[in-house]
């Protein structure tokens, strides 16, 4: 008989693991070794749960690439001992971390489910319990002893999404995340409904590999009407800049003024990779659809298609860290590596 499924819970911080200090009224992280005491419902699940916590749990606004590497290393060193992983993380930057991890964990064959909550776990009206309990259930789902989810997911308010397709869209509603360009992988109602046709499968059974070199020499600039030359120039002149995401309008459109073209051309000549990503949360860049993107197409700027900004910036850091040759960079970026783009 197969032993119970083993799940490792990794607590990084965020509202979910906080309790109100009744004296000061402020939210603070609780001792995670007491998790099972706080959420006795977890004992009823048909799986064994271990937990591990960041030494100093953080608000996710303080996340950086070093923290991403720590999470990746925890998964790497425990990969063979657990059937699935649940990462508890603040919702503010969860889509960034989870997107980053989707690239860092190559040929993942097990579930890595990110979740958090809008209200702390001790709050009467908390969304934390449902998010946590269902995330553990999803991480433990198996069919013929094979994990149903074999990718990095993000579970929030009854839906599991592909993590690198998500964006935080609401700081108030329990439904804090959206995935406008890709349907959910699982929906939680009376039953857990898995949409098999949407889940990711590593094309061939290659060996699990963890990438830890995320290159931070990148920038994002969101276009706005009235943007001036000196702003773009100073961003593109950032020392050591290797990759730049231009957040364009609609289906990838930008002003046709010559200063913009010239500055982009100069940056390309210096070897900076430039990616066209739309500011819209849904839909895709289609370079050449309008006159206002023809010039970007002519410059041979990388097409971000329907990628989110969170996935684009983390993919950029990842690919720069992989030392992809400049000749191949555009082709590799425009290829879906973990289901992050069409």
| Residue 59 binds ligand ASP, judged by CB under 6 A | yes
Q: Is 248 one of the catalytic residues?
A: no
Angle of the 326-333 helix axis to the 309-321 helix axis, nearest 10: 150
Burial class (CB in 10 A: 0-12, 13-18, 19+), 167: buried
* In contact, 267 and 244? CB cutoff 8 Å: yes
**Residue 57 touching ligand ASP (CB under 6 A):** no
Q: Counting contacts by CB under 6 A, is residue 90 touching ligand ASP?
A: yes
Of 15, 164, 188, 303, which one interacts with ligand ASP (CB under 6 A)?
15
Residues numbered 16 to 55 that lie near ligand ASP (CB under 6 A) are none
DSSP 173: S
116 binds ligand ASP per the rule CB under 6 A: yes
For ligand ASP, the closer CB: 176 or 285:
176
Q: Select which of 12, 15, 278, 308 is catalytic.
A: 15
Which of these segments, 57-65, 225-233, 238-246, 328-336, binds ligand ASP (CB under 6 A)?
57-65
Beta strands in the chain (DSSP E): 5-13, 18-20, 27-29, 47-58, 84-88, 105-106, 112-115, 142-143, 146-147, 152-156, 159-162, 167-168, 177-178, 186-188, 192-194, 209-210, 218-222, 243-248, 273-278, 302-303
The residue (of 14 and 153) whose beta carbon lies closer to ligand ASP is 14
Q: Does 91 bind ligand ASP (CB under 6 A)?
A: yes
- Residue 92 sits in the site that holds ligand ASP (CB under 6 A): yes
Query: Per rule CB under 6 A, is residue 84 in the interface with ligand ASP?
Result: no
Q: Which residues contact 37 (CB under 8 A, 6 or more apart)?
A: none
Residue 1 CB, nearest distance to ligand ASP (Å)?
Answer: 39
In the complex, which residues of this chain contact ligand ASP (CB under 6 A)?
13-15, 59-61, 90-92, 116, 118
Indicate which residues carry an active-site annotation: 15
């Amino acid at each position: 008989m197969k032993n119970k499924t083993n799940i490792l819970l990794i607590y990084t911080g965020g509202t979910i693991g906080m309790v109100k200090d009744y004296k000061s009224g402020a939210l603070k992280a609780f001792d995670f070794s007491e998790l099972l005491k706080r959420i006795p419902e977890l004992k009823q699940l048909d799986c064994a749960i271990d937990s591990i916590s960041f030494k100093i749990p953080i608000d996710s606004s303080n996340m950086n690439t070093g923290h991403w590497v720590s999470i990746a290393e925890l998964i790497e060193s425990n990969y063979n001992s657990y059937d699935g992983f649940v990462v508890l993380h603040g919702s503010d930057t969860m889509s960034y971390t989870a997107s980053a991890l989707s690239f860092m964990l190559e040929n993942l064959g097990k579930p890595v489910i990110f979740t958090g909550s809008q209200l702390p776990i001790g709050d009467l009206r908390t969304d934390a319990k449902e998010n946590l309990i269902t995330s553990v259930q999803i991480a433990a789902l198996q069919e013929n002893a094979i994990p149903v989810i074999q990718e990095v997911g993000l579970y929030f308010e009854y839906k599991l999404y592909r993590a690198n397709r998500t964006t935080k869209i609401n700081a108030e509603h329990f439904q804090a995340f959206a995935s406008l360009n890709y349907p959910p992988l699982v929906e939680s109602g009376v039953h857990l409904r898995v949409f098999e046709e949407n889940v990711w499968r590593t094309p061939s059974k290659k060996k699990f590999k963890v990438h830890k070199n995320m290159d931070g020499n990148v920038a994002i600039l969101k276009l706005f009407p009235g943007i001036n030359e000196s702003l773009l120039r100073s961003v593109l002149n950032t020392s050591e800049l290797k990759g730049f995401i231009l957040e364009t309008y609609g289906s990838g459109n930008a002003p046709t003024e010559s200063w913009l073209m010239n500055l982009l051309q100069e940056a390309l000549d210096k070897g900076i990779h430039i990616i066209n990503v739309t500011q819209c949360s849904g839909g895709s860049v289609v370079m050449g659809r309008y006159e206002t993107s023809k010039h970007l197409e002519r410059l041979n700027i990388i097409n971000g298609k329907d990628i989110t900004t969170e996935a684009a910036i983390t993919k950029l850091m990842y690919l720069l860290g992989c030392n992809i040759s400049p000749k191949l960079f555009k082709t590799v970026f425009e290829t879906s590596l973990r289901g992050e783009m069409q």
